[in-house]
Amino acid sequence: MATLALIAPAEYLAMSFDGLDREYVEGELVERGMPTYLHSKVQALLCILFGTLIKRYPLFIATEVRLAVRQEHLYRIPDVAVFAGQEPKEPVPQTPPLVAIEIALPDDRLTETLKKFAEYRNWGIAHIWLIEPIEKQFYTYDATGLHLVPTLELPQYAFAITLADLGL
Residue 40: inside a domain: yes
- pLDDT tens profile 19-44: 889 999 999 999 999 999 999 999 99
pLDDT for the residue numbered 19: 86
- pLDDT tens profile 96-147: 999 999 999 998 999 999 999 999 999 999 999 999 999 999 999 999 999 9
Number of domains in the chain: 1
Residue 67: inside a domain: yes
**Residue 5 confidence (pLDDT) above 90:** no
Residue 71: inside a domain: yes
- 144 sits in the region (left: phi over 0; alpha: psi -120 to 50; else beta) called alpha
Identify whether the C-beta of residue 153 lies closer than 8 Å to the C-beta of residue 101: no
Q: What are phi and psi of 137, to 5 degrees?
A: -140, 150
Residue 130: inside a domain: yes
Q: What is the pTM of this model?
A: 0.94
Residue 8: inside a domain: no
Q: What are phi and psi of 155, to 5 degrees?
A: -55, -35
Residue 132 domain boundaries:
33-166
CATH of the domain at 151: 3.90.1570.10
Work out the pLDDT band at 2, boundaries 50, 70, 90. Answer: low
Residue 7: inside a domain: no
Beta strands in 55-142 (DSSP E): 59-63, 67-70, 74-76, 80-84, 99-103, 127-132, 137-142
Work out the pLDDT band at 151, boundaries 50, 70, 90. Answer: very high
